[in-house]
Structure 1
Amino acid sequence: MNLFELNDIYRQLSQRDDLDPTTLIDSLKAIKDDREVKLENLATWADQLKSEIGFLEEKQKLFRGELTYRRNKLRWIKQYITDVMDDAGIKKIQTDNHLLSTRNFKASTVVDDVDKLPSELVTEEVTIKPDKKGIYDRLKEGDEVPGAHLEPNRNVVIK
């Protein structure tokens, strides 16, 4: 198999989203390729995936911001319509495309100062969180920490 054919196989694998980890590993093992060439192709694929992840994370951040902006804009527009109708004393109005009516919904609870609330109306939440750094330090020193252990974390660095 020539280099062009091998590169094409890696390209095809990289474009398959239906492969589970076991099938992917089996497919990679089946490629009869020089170890260095195989690792080069895999490192290139890893670079591509890192780039795609960064792109998607950035898009996700932009979409979250856009979603928040549009939700707020909808809230502002609906509040403006409500204010206009209330100011005019209109409870219902039919336009060419919409039927607008105001109505009272369940009132929103606003807490101005938690410290001033009666104790029976306040619940306290306690969060139990392990001190991972402290646990790591003790385990690294050779101490035994019941309920915890160190797990090897070995991976490749691609530059």
Structure 2
Amino acid sequence: MKLYELAQNYAQLMEMAEEMESDALVDTLESLQEAIEDKVENIAKLIKNLEADVKVIKEEEQRLADRRRSIESKIVRLKEYLQQQLEVAGLQKVKRPTITVAIQNNPPSVEIADEKLIPSEFMIPQDPKIDKKAILERLKNGEWVPGCSLKQTRGVRIR
């Protein structure tokens, strides 16, 4: 029987408690409660396993991201080294049967010396962002913030 079915049966049994004999009611409630607790335990264990999988996946993502950044840095260093050595040798291009390496100009880019001196027409307007942490602190301290209220939700904690 599924957990939602057990929970519904338990609730229905509680509603019919006055009509049943006390011994039969107690036995039935105990068996239903034990079945519910078994299901809850198994689902909680599944959640714990899935949380462990998520943790391992996040760690692997981080490890791979670190490795990617390391490789990207190595590529930059090797390109700089290659360019320096070609410039020292006075070569602009090396052409081989399988690969060609050439020094060329990159596309023009903007270098900003002082942002304060740039006219406003070059500024990109951005929507303001709400600082929910600051609002939460104010509300917790008993202050009133227009358009906001504290909300208390409930959730399952598995320890």
TM-score (norm 1): 0.63
Q: Alpha-carbon deviations, 1:73-95, whole Å to 9, x = none? A: 11111121112212212122123
Match of 2:117 in 1: 118
- The yes-or-no answer on 1:68 pairing with 2:108 is no
Q: Alpha-carbon deviations, 1:45-94, whole Å to 9, x = none? A: 11111111111111111111111111111111112111221221212212
**1:20-59 map, 5 Å:** 29=4, 34-59=35-60
Q: Over aligned residue pairs, what C-alpha RMSD do you find?
A: 3.4
How many Å separate the matches in 2 of 1:97 and 1:28?
Answer: 65
Segments ≥4 residues shifted beyond 6 Å:
30-33, 124-127
How many Å separate the matches in 1 of 2:60 and 2:131?
Answer: 34
Count of equivalent residues: 131
Aligned 8 A contact 1:91 1:101 in 2? yes
How many Å separate the matches in 2 of 1:74 and 1:65?
Answer: 14
Greater share of residues in helix: 2
- The yes-or-no answer on 1:152 pairing with 2:152 is yes
Shift of 1:127: 6.9
How many Å separate the matches in 2 of 1:128 and 1:151?
Answer: 23
Q: Which amino acid aligns with 1:153?
A: T
Q: Helix, strand or coil for the counterpart of 1:100? A: strand
Aligned 8 A contact 1:135 1:145 in 2? no
% same residue: 20
Match of 1:7 in 2: none
Match of 1:128 in 2: 128
